[in-house]
Amino acid sequence: MKIKAVRTHILQAELSQALACSRGWFSTRTAMLVEIETDRGIVGWGECYGPARITAAAVEHVAPWLIGEDPVRSDYLWQLIYARMRDHGQKGAVIQALGGIDIALWDIKGKYFDAPVHQLLGGPQRTRISAYATGLYRRRAADPIQYLAEEAAGYVAEGFSALKLRVGFGVEEDAAVTRAVREAIGPSAALMIDANHAYDSIAAIRLGRMIEQHDVRWFEEPVPPEDIAGYRAVRSALSIPIAGGECEFTRFGFRELFVMHALDIAQPDTCAAGGLSECKKIADMAEAFGIRYNPHVWGTGIAIAASLQLLAVLPPHTRPSLMPMAPILELDRTEHPIRQAILVEPLEHVRGVIQVPEGPGLGIEVDRKALARFVAR
Ligand SMILES: [Mg+2]
| pLDDT tens for each residue of 68-118 | 999 999 999 999 999 999 999 999 999 999 999 999 999 999 999 999 999
Q: Are residues 108 and 147 in the same domain?
A: no
| C-alpha 226 – ligand 1 centre gap (Å) | 15
Report pLDDT for 296: 98
| C-alpha 218 – ligand 1 centre gap (Å) | 11
Q: Are residues 255 and 138 in the same domain?
A: yes
Report pLDDT for 141: 83
From the list 118, 296, 317, 336, the catalytic residue is: 296
- Condensed to tens digits (0 to 9), the pLDDT of residues 271-318 reads 999 999 999 999 999 999 999 999 999 999 999 999 999 999 999 998
Q: Are residues 90 and 127 in the same domain?
A: no
| C-alpha 159 – ligand 1 centre gap (Å) | 22
Q: Judge whether 43 lies within some domain.
A: yes
- Mean of the pLDDT values across residues 196-216? 98
Q: Are residues 138 and 261 in the same domain?
A: yes
Q: Are residues 74 and 199 in the same domain?
A: no
Q: Are residues 328 and 206 in the same domain?
A: yes
DSSP string, 97-159: HHHHHHHHHHHHHHHHTTSBHHHHTT--S-SEEEEEEE---EESSS-HHHHHHHHHHHHHHHT
| C-alpha 113 – ligand 1 centre gap (Å) | 35
| C-alpha 112 – ligand 1 centre gap (Å) | 34
Kindly report the CATH number assigned to the domain that includes residue 80. Answer: 3.30.390.10
Q: Are residues 13 and 159 in the same domain?
A: no
Where residue 254 falls among pLDDT bands split at 50, 70, 90? very high
Q: Are residues 199 and 284 in the same domain?
A: yes
For the cut 90, the answer to whether the pLDDT of residue 256 exceeds it is: yes
Kindly report the CATH number assigned to the domain that includes residue 145. Answer: 3.20.20.120
SS3 47: strand
| C-alpha 363 – ligand 1 centre gap (Å) | 26
Q: Judge whether 362 lies within some domain.
A: no
Q: Are residues 139 and 272 in the same domain?
A: yes
Q: Judge whether 291 lies within some domain.
A: yes
Q: Judge whether 160 lies within some domain.
A: yes
For the cut 90, the answer to whether the pLDDT of residue 321 exceeds it is: no
For the cut 90, the answer to whether the pLDDT of residue 319 exceeds it is: no
> Is the torsion defined by CA of 80, 81, 86, 92 positive or negative?
negative
- Mean per-residue pLDDT of the chain: 97
What is the Cα Rg of the chain in Å? 20
- In whole angstroms, give the CA distance from residue 313 to residue 126: 7
Q: Are residues 106 and 188 in the same domain?
A: no
For the cut 80, the answer to whether the pLDDT of residue 320 exceeds it is: no
Q: Are residues 209 and 291 in the same domain?
A: yes
Known catalytic residue: 296?
yes
Residue 187 per-residue DSSP state: S
For the cut 80, the answer to whether the pLDDT of residue 323 exceeds it is: no
Q: Judge whether 363 lies within some domain.
A: no
* Range(s) of the domain holding residue 88: 3-114+369-373
Q: Are residues 96 and 226 in the same domain?
A: no
Q: Judge whether 107 lies within some domain.
A: yes
Q: How many domains does the chain fold into? A: 2
pTM of the model: 0.97
Burial class (CB in 10 A: 0-12, 13-18, 19+), 87: exposed
Q: Judge whether 285 lies within some domain.
A: yes
- Condensed to tens digits (0 to 9), the pLDDT of residues 123-180 reads 999 999 999 999 999 999 889 999 999 999 999 999 999 999 999 999 999 999 999 9
